[in-house]
Amino acid sequence: MKMIHVGTTCMNPSGIRPPFSVKSITPQLWAQRTSLGSRLRSLKCISGSEEEISNTGSDFNVKDALSGMVDEQVQELLSKKENRVLFDGLEKASLRVEMARKELALIEQQELAAKQFREYINQLEGKAMEIAECQREISEARALVEEAERSLSLNDVELEDGNSTRGAKTEEIDRDKERLESVKAASISALIGSIAGLPICLTQASNFTQLILPLAINFISCALFGVTFRYAVRRNLDDVQLKTGAAAAFGVVKGLATLGGGPLLELNYESFLSHALDGTTFVSENFLIFAFSAVGLDYCFKRRLLSPFPLYSSSENSK
């Protein structure tokens, strides 16, 4: 079968026009370009049953002619302005579809984020309920603690009332014990000081009558030193400076008093030197006397023969 190409139409030798022309092809007909080729191939087979094909070379020529015709028709369809507008609209539609897909994906992500946010809010609400429950328990516990404190304060008031009545009874007893310990300290200090000052008094007296006054002065001053030493040292029994300072203070005062009872000071070198030597001697002698008394008292404190000030009450000892 021979095909004749005239302008833009295709005709066969019988003069029958094809059912379509190239100018009348629309984009819908272009989408069916593959079905056109298959129809032409079926037409070739039908015509081949009526006419006998002499050789294989003629078949290949028909194929090439048909494919060339289809390509030309496709190119002509693509080159037309109205079809190009349609293709541009198709591309824009595909872009809009792609953008819609992206927006859909973004909406899905936002919905997922909103769902997670709602779950987080639910968790926070659960935590808030737990915190409110804990605060309620804390307030209840605080109320119980306040009630317990009030009951304890009432008990303390009752105990203080009972202790005040008992303390009023034992106050005089404690004072009597303090007085007794002070008398013991004065006696021990006076005895030790008198014995320590006896050699010094013997060097200053020629008979027993002259010895009575210095011994009496030493006895009284050492007794006062014993009471003062107990109240000054208190329970700081390891404070050497405090104990030595108390003895030195009494020694300086008594030595200067003894110096003042001697001859008057004259405005010359010999009088100044004599009073300086006498003052040093008197202060040293009296310091030795009070130092021996301090050592004796400290020994009695540490051996618990004498109680330091203040005395502990029975309740403090039980604690």
Q: Are residues 181 and 306 in the same domain?
A: yes
In a domain, 285, yes or no: yes
In a domain, 136, yes or no: no
Last residue of one domain, picked from the residues 33, 49, 79: 79
* Furthest CA-CA distance within the chain: 189
Mean pLDDT value of segment 233-254: 90
Predicted local confidence at residue 244, as pLDDT: 92
Q: Are residues 69 and 181 in the same domain?
A: no
- The DSSP code for 316 is H
Domain housing 26: 4-79
Contact between residue 255 and residue 285 where contact means Cβ atoms under 8 Å apart: yes
* 88-119 per-position pLDDT tens digit: 778 888 888 989 999 999 999 999 999 999 89
Among candidate residues 66, 87, 76, 85, the one with its CA nearest the CA of residue 10: 66
In a domain, 250, yes or no: yes
Q: Using CA of residue 52, residue 54, residue 59, residue 62, what is the dihedral sign?
A: negative
Last residue of one domain, picked from the residues 38, 56, 79: 79
Tell me how many domains the chain contains: 2
Residues 6 or more apart whose CB falls under 8 angstroms from that of 192 comprise: 222, 292, 293, 295, 296, 297
Last residue of one domain, picked from the residues 21, 53, 79: 79
* 201-225 per-position pLDDT tens digit: 888 878 888 888 889 999 999 999 9
Q: pLDDT band for 266, please (50, 70, 90 cuts).
A: confident
More confident residue, 184 or 206: 184
